[in-house]
């Protein structure tokens, strides 16, 4: 069996994914990325990576979702050093990221363990934060959730698998996020069971 270290974000989208993961074989260790906080959000605004209006829209969507965030009892990380410690203890064959906010550093990339990320929009064209908003504004409605190899450049690695979907320009931003992340969760469930490398 493939031993997977799965790092999920600490939001309701990741919580929804978590409810669908069948981890009865103990070949997947699930960790929650708790690195995102108000300081990080403030830095994203200051660096003009995300506009305050988009952060507000995303926050409202998070509140509106009916599902729950991952259980607080699950192990968590807040730094690359935490991930390295888990890699040493668990010795995974690969690392998969879903909704994780932590930027993976070169030390982890140099361990030789494949690091894969699931991004909810087509990469590299719509990589980075706010990708669904970018796609809608660009009228690029045909999108794909992508599983790609993590490199030192954000959302630039080779795409190994994808799940196509279509955004709806007439629907709310909330519904378009749901469309995109339902595709991303479907891709995640497939990625956990499949050996790509």
pLDDT digits (tens, 9 = 90+) for 61-109: 999 999 899 988 899 999 999 999 999 999 999 999 999 989 999 999 9
User: CA-CA distance, 65 to 161, in Å (whole number)?
Assistant: 27
pLDDT digits (tens, 9 = 90+) for 114-138: 999 999 999 999 998 899 999 999 9
pLDDT score of 54:
83
pLDDT digits (tens, 9 = 90+) for 157-195: 999 999 999 999 999 999 999 999 999 999 999 999 999
Specify the 3-state DSSP secondary structure of 117. Answer: strand
Domain ranges of the chain: 4-193
Q: Are 127 and 156 in contact (CB under 8 A)?
A: yes
From the candidate CATH numbers 3.40.50.170, 3.40.50.2300, 1.10.3720.10, 3.40.640.10, the one assigned to the domain spanning 4-193: 3.40.50.170
User: CA-CA distance, 107 to 84, in Å (whole number)?
Assistant: 8
Question: Do the bridges between strand 142-149 and strand 159-166 make them parallel or antiparallel, or are there none, so unpaired?
Answer: antiparallel
pTM for the whole structure = 0.92
Rounded alpha-carbon distances, angstroms, from residue 177 to 28, 134, 135, 169: 26, 12, 11, 12
Specify the 3-state DSSP secondary structure of 146. Answer: strand
């Amino acid at each position: 069996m493939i031993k997977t270290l799965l790092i999920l974000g600490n939001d309701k989208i990741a919580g929804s994914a978590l409810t669908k993961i069948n981890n009865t074989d103990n070949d997947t260790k699930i960790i929650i990325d708790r690195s995102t906080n108000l300081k990080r959000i403030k830095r994203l605004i200051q660096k003009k990576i995300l506009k305050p209006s988009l952060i507000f829209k995303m926050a409202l969507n998070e509140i509106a979702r009916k599902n729950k965030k991952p259980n607080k009892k699950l192990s968590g990380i807040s730094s690359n050093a935490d991930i390295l410690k888990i890699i040493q203890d668990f010795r995974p064959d690969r690392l998969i990221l879903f909704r994780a906010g932590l930027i993976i550093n070169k030390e982890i990339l140099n361990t030789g363990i494949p690091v894969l990320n699931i991004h909810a929009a087509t990469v590299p064209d719509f990589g980075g934060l706010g990708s669904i908003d970018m796609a809608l504004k660009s009228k690029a409605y045909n999108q794909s959730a992508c599983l790609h190899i993590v490199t030192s450049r954000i959302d630039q690695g080779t795409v190994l698998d994808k799940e196509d979907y279509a955004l709806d320009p007439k629907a709310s931003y909330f519904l378009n996020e749901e469309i995109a992340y339902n595709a991303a969760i479907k891709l995640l469930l497939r990625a956990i069971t499949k050996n790509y490398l």
